[in-house]
Amino acid sequence: MTHVAPQKIDCHVHLIGDGSSGGGCWLRLKSIAHRLMARIILHQVGLPSSALQNGLDAQIENRLVDLVCGSSLDAVVLLAQDIPHRDDGTPMPENGAFFVPNHYLLQVCSRHPGLFLPAVSIHPARRDSMDELDRCLFAGARVLKLLPNCLNVDYADPRYRPFWEKMAAANMILLSHTGGELSLPVMNHQFADPRLLSHPLDCGVTVIAAHCAGRSGLWDADHTDALLDMFGKWPRLFGDNSALCSPVRCRTLPKILPESIRQRIVHGSDFPISVSGFGPWRMGLIDRDTWRASSQEPNVLERDVLLKRAIGFDDAQLTRMAQLLGNKSSDPLTISPP
Ligand SMILES: [Zn+2]
């Protein structure tokens, strides 16, 4: 029997779009600051700012294919983004900053099988949430992404239990934002707390806590210790290291580098959020030469891989997503709790 090396996967890559291909995406750039930030982000990922007026859907899709193929990664988990909803299921598109519908995400992923793995996004208060979950599972989605503080998702709401139970039965992984959020409008700051994830975990869902619940701003609450405490109780709980090569979020890195914690960490970039060695250098985690060398790497996905390696993450973090996707909820996890 030949041994197949496990795939190296970036578990946290955002799809964005402007609806120019008819897929239903939108991007709300209300202020000059937002438009400026969008231009900076496009520049970092290697697209001209004219992409904002000129078919962003196709340009982002093509650029992502080039970036993944030009990196040492085998695949990326590509994320949809639902709109905020009230607890009674009323949609609140006016409170969202961008929207990537599941059907569009699934279409994009089907054009690049093996390269893009879909992470759909369904607010559990949606009146069609169970049907939409069925549709997405039928289409092959294995991951669901939520951003509870921005989408207004209260994980403790007992009405969502059947939704988590269906996810668990289907071995679907919940990739959940944890900690504060700076780049998008926040609806409920309390939902940054990773302890709320005990509700889907209690229903048997495997959960990846994005950003390991660290700070996104200078003064917001740091929930990383609460998350690390939970690792002992919940063997199906993991954290991703996405966006941690940014000047503010890099402060989370030292807490998740000990070997016992690294066993629970999944590699992620948070594309198109900026990737820079400045923060890790300032924290003393890499030297100046490594920071300089990383800034010479034009491929942002590969730059993130290079920096994470230099910081102390290894191939086990890069292949952990493949391992999680291979696990069934009935299988014992091969990863031991710290
Ligand atoms: Zn993200």
> Tell me, what's the pLDDT at 86?
95
The yes-or-no verdict on residue 338 having pLDDT over 60 is no
Q: How far, in Å, is the centroid of ligand 1 from the Cα of 183?
A: 10
The yes-or-no verdict on residue 333 having pLDDT over 50 is no
The yes-or-no verdict on residue 334 having pLDDT over 70 is no
What is the pLDDT confidence band of residue 267, given thresholds at 50, 70 and 90? very high
Cis peptide upstream of residue 185 (ω within 30 degrees of 0): no
Which of 94-98, 100-104, 150-154 has the least mean pLDDT? 94-98
> Where in the chain are the domains?
9-326
Give the single-character DSSP code of 114. Answer: T
Question: What span, in angstroms and rounded, lies between the C-alpha atoms of 151 and 186?
Answer: 8
Tell me the average pLDDT across 85-107: 95
Tens of pLDDT, residue by residue over 42-87, are 888 889 888 888 899 999 999 999 999 999 999 999 999 999 999 9
CA atoms within 13 A on the CB side of 321: 32
CB 269 within 8 A of CB 261: no
> Tell me, what's the pLDDT at 205?
98
Of the candidates 56, 62, 63, 50, the one whose C-alpha atom is nearest the C-alpha of residue 27 is: 56
CA atoms within 13 A on the CB side of 91: 11
Instruction: Give, in words, the CATH class of 9-326.
Output: alpha beta
Q: How far, in Å, is the centroid of ligand 1 from the Cα of 82?
A: 13
Q: How far, in Å, is the centroid of ligand 1 from the Cα of 210?
A: 7
Q: How far, in Å, is the centroid of ligand 1 from the Cα of 14?
A: 6
Question: What span, in angstroms and rounded, lies between the C-alpha atoms of 91 and 18?
Answer: 19
Of the candidates 65, 76, 80, the one whose C-alpha atom is nearest the C-alpha of residue 26 is: 80
Q: How far, in Å, is the centroid of ligand 1 from the Cα of 185?
A: 13
Q: How far, in Å, is the centroid of ligand 1 from the Cα of 310?
A: 22
Phi/psi of residue 313, each to 5°?
-85, 155
Q: How far, in Å, is the centroid of ligand 1 from the Cα of 208?
A: 12
Single pTM value for the model: 0.94
Tens of pLDDT, residue by residue over 113-154, are 999 999 999 999 999 999 999 999 999 999 999 999 999 999
Q: How far, in Å, is the centroid of ligand 1 from the Cα of 2?
A: 36
